[in-house]
Structure 1
């Protein structure tokens, strides 16, 4: 567990555009051995138990990298409580201490929320088109699944990160939604 006096958190998805904590500092950072992927059923925030959506998770994958942001919490104790309430709503995410390489400065030990690959909400083998079909229709307590996707891609682009899979998903979801209204 990272030092709670100086808590850094790795943001790779919704934490980019909706951190939910006071952030004192950010650094662009890259995590190796994991990839950003829609591989977790969302039964609370972006879907329901009867009609699950998908949310991003860090999925272990040999040779992969995931670029995001290391965020230093202004109030580590409050941040950790807020993040745990938000991210650990089920045991689908595991809280892990990992080291990220930063574009500026030395590597940082950060807190990351990684998919529990043994959890029932883990969905490892969906194609991008299958992901897009789910994201286009799902809706949960925090809104439509497609908003989660588009907000995340906008957050990535604000820090000059282009993720080809995410860009494909945005285009495909927009196409599916347009076909549904014609």
Structure 2
């Protein structure tokens, strides 16, 4: 039996959990939130989460693909560890920022929002993180290189193509000193950078 997942309920629950902590909100950024934040951040820290890793293994049927040609986005999947950024959002900005974040990250309520302990140079913080269960129908499981190539060639959604998303994330991770070997490997499967953008 499939549980009906409701974005509004999950948002309310996350908001209530944050309010119970009664402080600024920390958010763990591991993908596009690093390079496309879209809200005011009071502080950024390099951070590491243990017990989850970044993987380009989540179907995207809105942001980076369509129902007919699903694209991919990154998710935090259990196992291993992940380096990213911890973003601090001032408490008085949270009531406006959270619904905006939900609209972007949860157009289909696929992620499981969780508070994960993040290790930062200034000490640990508990940060809101968007994780994905291996039992989710949106978890791709292991994809072949051929499948990645096909998705990179054809899948685009309201925010652009899966390939642009993956390349931008790689570039921005590198810029903050993070080398994600698997993501680099997958992105390298795509055709070489064209010298000029052509319309498919």
**Structure 1 length-normalised TM:** 0.88
2:61 alignment counterpart = 43
2-structure distance, mates of 1:86, 1:65: 25
Deviation at 1:37, TM superposition (A): 0.4
After TM superposition, list the pairs within 5 Å mapping 1:56-71 onto structure 2: 56-61=74-79, 64-71=80-87
Matching of residue 118 in structure 1 with residue 149 in structure 2: no
Deviation at 1:91, TM superposition (A): 2.3
2-structure distance, mates of 1:68, 1:165: 15
**Does the 8 A contact of 2:56 with 2:72 survive in 1?**
yes
Identify which of 189, 193, 196 aligns with 1:172.
189
2-structure distance, mates of 1:50, 1:4: 43
Deviations 1:32-84 (A, max 9, x none): 111100111000010000000010000012xx010000001142222212111
Q: 1:5 to 1:13 in 2, by over 3 A?
A: same
1:87 alignment counterpart = 105
Q: 1:177 to 1:115 in 2, by over 3 A?
A: farther
2-structure distance, mates of 1:35, 1:28: 15
For the aligned residue pairs, the C-alpha RMSD in angstroms reads: 2.0
2-structure distance, mates of 1:8, 1:80: 11
Which has more radius of gyration?
Answer: 2
1-structure distance, mates of 2:139, 2:125: 28
The number of residues matched between the two structures is 176
**Structure 2 length-normalised TM:** 0.81
* Runs of 5+ consecutive residues of structure 2 not aligned to the other structure: 1-16
Structure with bigger strand share is 1
